[in-house]
Amino acid sequence: MMKLLVPPPSPLSTAQTAGSRRVRPGPRSRISQKPMTDAPPQDYRIHELRAAISWLRNQITPGSPIVPLATVRARDRAEPTHGIVLSLGLASSLFHDEQFGDYIVMDKPHIHLFDGILSKNHIASLLPLFEHVARDRMPLLLAARDADEDVLAMVALNKQRGSMRGAIVTTPAGRGAPLRDLHHATGGGVGTANEVELRVGEPALPQRLLATLDETVIITPRPTLPSVPTLGLLYVGGEDLPAARHRARVAREILGVRSLN
């Protein structure tokens, strides 16, 4: 069995942690500075678009904004799918992927949600989970309101050591709404993290995940809808429309999708 590295308490200094914690950029995306150009509009019928939006409304938090997009392009074909962009950002730049730069990509990751703050008191409870994903070589994403230095160090050090491919995403200002959106989008269980105990729920298993310091994009297969054979939709989570539009631009750059309008 592959042995996981457990760091001593507070392995990261305050200065190191402050340098690695996420810093929100301005309105421009960190992914690409190239100007956006929309491809020619796809052929679609308005009643199909309305049917797809109606279906998606039942999958997410009521009142959340939706931005319709064209089908996500795969290597050699167009795949009917939908992406969900959430305001969950990587908790540290230490999780950046050498292959992709300032964002990470995970295929078929195990996502564990925790309503609370992950701390050093929870490391012993997290070890069996880490050992499981390390043994089976599965990507792991922990989503929580926040995580302290000890948990960040454990996941980051094991990632750098090659023992485990993992990352942590947290919510802005510790809000719970993005976690609820992630739960609705993926169907995974929600664990709890408090001072007394850590309860681990069932993992969410999306098709693909992309994450930056500011956004998490979940790609999930869309059930077949007879009236919408090729239409893809992007749900953009956010409390206000400008933020939603900004995340839509970021998602278009990451995913290579084309706008319907």
Tell me what pLDDT residue 209 has.
84
Nearest CA-CA partner of 165 in 157, 176, 173, 177: 157
Q: In the chain, what's the furthest Cα-to-Cα distance?
A: 59
In order of 22, 27, 194, 215, the CA distances from 142 in angstroms are 16, 27, 15, 14
Mean pLDDT of 103-112: 89
> Who contacts 231 (Cβ-Cβ below 8 Å, separation ≥6)?
44, 48, 49, 52, 68, 70, 71, 80
Question: Which amino acid is located at 89 in the chain?
Answer: G
Beta-bridge partner residues of 211: 104, 216
Ordered domains of the chain (ranges, CATH): 42-87+215-261 (no CATH), 89-206 (3.50.7.10)
Tell me what pLDDT residue 152 has.
94
The radius of gyration of the chain from alpha carbons, rounded to an integer in Å, stands at 19
Nearest CA-CA partner of 222 in 74, 94, 71, 88: 71
- Give the range among 2-6, 26-30, 197-201, 256-260 with minimum mean pLDDT: 26-30
